[in-house]
């Protein structure tokens, strides 16, 4: 009876190390490694056959022969004897790790094989397709050399160039917005920003008749002189954004100094310690919080004349003193002062005792959107309690101007409660802040009937708005920027942005509530319609004037180039005739022929001199009468514009 192989090995003496082999060490891992190296060095051994395979503990794959282990039979002692020495060299923990690595390697090798084969097939097909394309495009070059090598090189060059362009584009313009703008610039022409920014129709039909002086707004603003820009800020009209543009986004010889964390900036004239802008962000609320037309026209001249080099903000009692003194100068009956709002009176109020000129500017907004925006602002806790509302030298009493709420603020009030208050200053706020309240007895409603009071306030607001140096509309940001730049001859650094989504636009109201808001602000609705018509007519008038000026410059350039060409032609012709004269004198010593040539030359010179003198006279004539030429050109532009307005009607 034969014993098993394992039992025979157990009774055998331990194997002796071969000659030249290192001695057995006490470390089992090192001893197993040494025995493995010796077994691998023997020719024909099992370890030598395994060495040609994958690394230790790793198999070839799912379909490799070492993994397809067939079920062992009981009588196959030779197979067990062949595999036993290999596994005997490893410890039990290494055997476990070997099985885990086999499983992982099989899955990873399968994925890598699939990926490499797929990429190889894709590359092969792409190579054939590109080779066919290049063979058709670069057919004549096929006879010069190997087409595959040239196509590969050309393809590599194109891919490299494309990658370089992408990297440069990402470095120069990392955002997607700039890339889209560049693609649009290549694909389609750039539209007119003044037409596309506000969604208004290109064909505007005027409703009101305005004169040339009403449409042409050109202020001789000298920042080094004594001209002062006064900004009238009406609540929730976008005035904060516009004032921020004035102090941070305008090109100046001496820019405004704005410190981090402070709303107030220092806007001094070049070489002087006095400001050129009277607004919240430059001088603070020097005439009170959100001062209206009545307060500003009475307060600004006195504040500017009373300020010294320190330019300190006056205190509250000082403001009352200034307004009281100004009201005493023009004290009179509000009903009998018929010419208080005439252009001459407004011009007188636009100057101070020191001779400084004041140019008032403001921003208007759609009344419904402005009303909803103010309601949302009041909901968040705004009160404007610090507003003085000073008129005729005194603030209104509690009976003249009652409050709509009893607590500290009106936060959380619903829209219905906001509309139900009859003393709410949000109703017709734009008309009230732009009109002269002294014409209607300030806030005393018993001076005249309500209908007459509303009519006087509306006419006063329209007149003041028309005679202002500039006004803009919140719904037309780019046009507002354009008109301001043309009016004051000042340029902004970056263009204005039109925000069509605001807090007011997020409020959803039905048609009934909208009609009620329009009824509460009926004076503002009529004023906004008037202001929008005047604003768009001014814009079209200035644009047409710019087009005429550009056309005139192009004509002058053509005339200048034509004169230069004629001058060079005459000079070259004269040089040629003189050369011919010299040759004729040397060849034909005939005095009659020479005399004819000299006569021709003198005639040409006389013609050239007469033409040059006539051109000089034409150039000097506009210098002698510049006003006449300017009046003629502007009158022609005005007549063309008014004629086009009549055609539109």
| Torsion sign (Cα): 55, 61, 62, 66 | negative
Render pLDDT for 470-509 as a digit per residue (tens, 0 to 9).
999 999 999 999 999 999 999 999 999 888 777 677 788 9
| Torsion sign (Cα): 555, 558, 564, 565 | negative
Tally of CB atoms within 10 A around 226:
16
For residue 636, the model assigns a pLDDT of 53
Q: For the purposes of burial, counting CB atoms within 10 Å of the CB of 492, is it exposed (0-12), middle (13-18) or buried (19 or more)?
A: middle
Least confident among 408-422, 517-531, 626-640: 626-640
**Is the pLDDT at 66 greater than 60, yes or no?**
no
Tally of CB atoms within 10 A around 541:
22
Contact criterion met (CB below 8 Å) for 560 and 615: no
**Is the pLDDT at 362 greater than 50, yes or no?**
yes
DSSP letters, 346-365, are HHHHTB-TT--EEEEEEEE-
Quote the pTM value. 0.59
DSSP letters, 212-248, are HHHH-------TTTTEEEEEE--TTSSHHHHHHHHHH
Q: How far apart are CA 582 and CA 578, in angstroms?
A: 6
Residue 383, phi then psi, degrees to nearest 5: -130, -30
3-state secondary structure of 391: strand
Contact criterion met (CB below 8 Å) for 230 and 360: yes
More confident residue, 99 or 334: 99
Contact criterion met (CB below 8 Å) for 270 and 398: no
Mean pLDDT for 542-565 is 89
- Looking at the chain, the whole-number percentage of residues with pLDDT higher than 70 is 57
**Is the pLDDT at 643 greater than 90, yes or no?**
no
**Is the pLDDT at 184 greater than 80, yes or no?**
no
User: 569 an active-site residue?
Assistant: no
For residue 90, the model assigns a pLDDT of 65
Helices (H) and strands (E) in the chain, counts: 23, 4
C-alpha dist (Å) from residue 627 to 70, 220, 488, 631:
113, 16, 21, 6
pLDDT band at 340; cut points 50, 70, 90: very low
Q: How far apart are CA 364 and CA 532, in angstroms?
A: 9
C-alpha dist (Å) from residue 603 to 212, 495, 563, 569:
51, 59, 19, 16
CA 179 to the chain's CA centroid = 14
More confident residue, 103 or 183: 103
For residue 351, the model assigns a pLDDT of 64
**Is the pLDDT at 96 greater than 80, yes or no?**
no
pLDDT band at 372; cut points 50, 70, 90: very high
Q: Which uninterrupted H or E stretch holds 278?
A: strand 277-278
Least confident among 184-188, 232-236, 336-340, 473-477: 336-340
Mean pLDDT for 324-340 is 47
Helix orientation angle between 367-379 and 511-520, rounded to the nearest 10 degrees: 100
Residue 421, phi then psi, degrees to nearest 5: -75, 120
Contact criterion met (CB below 8 Å) for 294 and 436: yes
CA 85 to the chain's CA centroid = 78
CA-wise closest residue to 537 among 46, 207, 248, 252: 207
Tally of CB atoms within 10 A around 535:
21
Mean pLDDT for 140-146 is 50
**Strand runs (DSSP E) across 402-504, as ranges?**
470-473
Mean pLDDT for 59-81 is 44
- Distance between first and last Cα of the chain: 128
C-alpha dist (Å) from residue 311 to 141, 267, 275, 359, 481:
82, 12, 9, 20, 29
Mean pLDDT for 456-462 is 97
More confident residue, 534 or 98: 534
Render pLDDT for 388-399 as a digit per residue (tens, 0 to 9).
999 999 999 999
**Is the pLDDT at 342 greater than 80, yes or no?**
no
pLDDT band at 336; cut points 50, 70, 90: very low
Choice among 63, 128, 233, 290 that is catalytic: 290
């Amino acid at each position: 009876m034969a014993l098993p192989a394992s039992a025979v090995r157990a009774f055998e003496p331990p194997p002796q190390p071969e000659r030249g082999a290192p001695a057995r060490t006490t470390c089992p891992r090192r001893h197993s490694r040494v025995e493995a190296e010796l077994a691998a060095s023997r020719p024909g051994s099992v370890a030598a056959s395994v060495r040609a395979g994958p690394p230790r503990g790793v198999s070839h794959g799912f379909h490799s022969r070492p993994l397809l282990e067939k079920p062992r039979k009981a009588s196959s002692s030779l197979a067990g004897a062949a595999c036993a020495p290999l596994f005997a060299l490893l410890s039990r923990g290494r055997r476990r790790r070997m099985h885990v690595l086999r499983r992982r390697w099989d899955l990873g090798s399968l994925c890598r094989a699939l990926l490499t084969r797929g990429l190889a097939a894709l590359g092969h097909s792409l190579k054939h397709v590109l080779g066919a394309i290049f063979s058709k495009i670069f057919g004549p070059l096929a006879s010069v050399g190997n087409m595959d090598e040239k196509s590969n090189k050309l393809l590599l060059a194109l891919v490299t160039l494309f990658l370089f362009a992408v990297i440069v584009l990402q470095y120069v313009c990392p955002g997607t917005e700039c890339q889209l703008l560049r693609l649009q610039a290549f694909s389609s022409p750039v539209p007119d920003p003044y037409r596309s920014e506000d969604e208004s129709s290109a064909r505007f039909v005027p409703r009101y008749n305005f004169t040339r002086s009403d449409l042409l707004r050109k202020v001789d603003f000298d920042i080094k002189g004594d001209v002062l820009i006064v900004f009238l800020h009406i609540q929730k009209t976008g005035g904060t954004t516009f004032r921020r543009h004035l102090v941070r986004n305008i090109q100046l010889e001496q820019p405004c100094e704005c410190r981090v964390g402070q709303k107030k900036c220092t806007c001094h004239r070049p070489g002087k310690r006095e400001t050129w802008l009277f607004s919240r962000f430059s001088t603070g609320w020097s005439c009170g919080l959100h001062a209206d037309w009545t307060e500003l026209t009475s307060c600004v001249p006195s504040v500017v004349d009373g300020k010294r080099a320190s330019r300190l903000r006056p205190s509250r009692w000082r403001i009352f003193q200034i307004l009281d003194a100004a009201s005493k100068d023009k004290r009179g009956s509000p009903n009998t002062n018929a010419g208080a709002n005439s252009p001459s009176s407004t011009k007188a109020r636009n100057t101070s005792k020191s001779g400084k000129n004041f140019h008032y500017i403001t921003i208007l907004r759609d009344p419904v959107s402005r009303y909803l925006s103010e309601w949302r602002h009041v909901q968040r806790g705004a009160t404007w309690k610090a507003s003085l509302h000073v008129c005729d030298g005194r603030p209104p009493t509690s009976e003249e101007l009652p409050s709509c709420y009893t607590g500290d603020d009106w936060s959380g009030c619903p829209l219905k409660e906001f509309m139900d208050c009859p003393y709410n200053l949000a109703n017709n706020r734009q008309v009230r802040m732009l009109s002269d309240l002294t014409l209607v007895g300030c806030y005393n409603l018993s001076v005249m009937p309500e209908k007459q009071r509303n009519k006087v306030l509306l006419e006063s607001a329209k007149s003041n708005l028309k005679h202002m140096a500039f006004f803009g509309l919140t719904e037309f940001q780019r046009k507002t920027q354009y008109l301001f730049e043309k009016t004051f001859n000042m340029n902004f650094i970056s263009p204005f942005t039109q925000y069509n989504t605001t807090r007011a636009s997020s409020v959803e109201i039905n048609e009934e509530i909208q009609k009620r808001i329009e009824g509460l602000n009926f004076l503002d609705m009529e004023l906004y319609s008037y202001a929008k018509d005047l604003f768009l007519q001014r814009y079209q008038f200035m644009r047409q004037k710019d087009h005429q000026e550009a056309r005139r410059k192009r004509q002058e350039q053509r005339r200048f180039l034509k004169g230069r060409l004629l001058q060079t032609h005459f000079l070259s012709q004269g040089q040629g005739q003189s050369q011919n004269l010299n040759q004729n004198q040397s060849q034909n010593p005939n005095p009659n022929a020479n005399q004819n040539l000299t006569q021709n030359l003198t005639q040409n010179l006389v013609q050239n001199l007469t033409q040059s003198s006539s051109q000089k006279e034409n150039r000097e004539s506009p210098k002698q009468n510049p006003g006449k030429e300017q009046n003629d050109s502007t009158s022609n532009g005005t007549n063309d514009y008014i004629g086009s307005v009549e055609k539109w009607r």
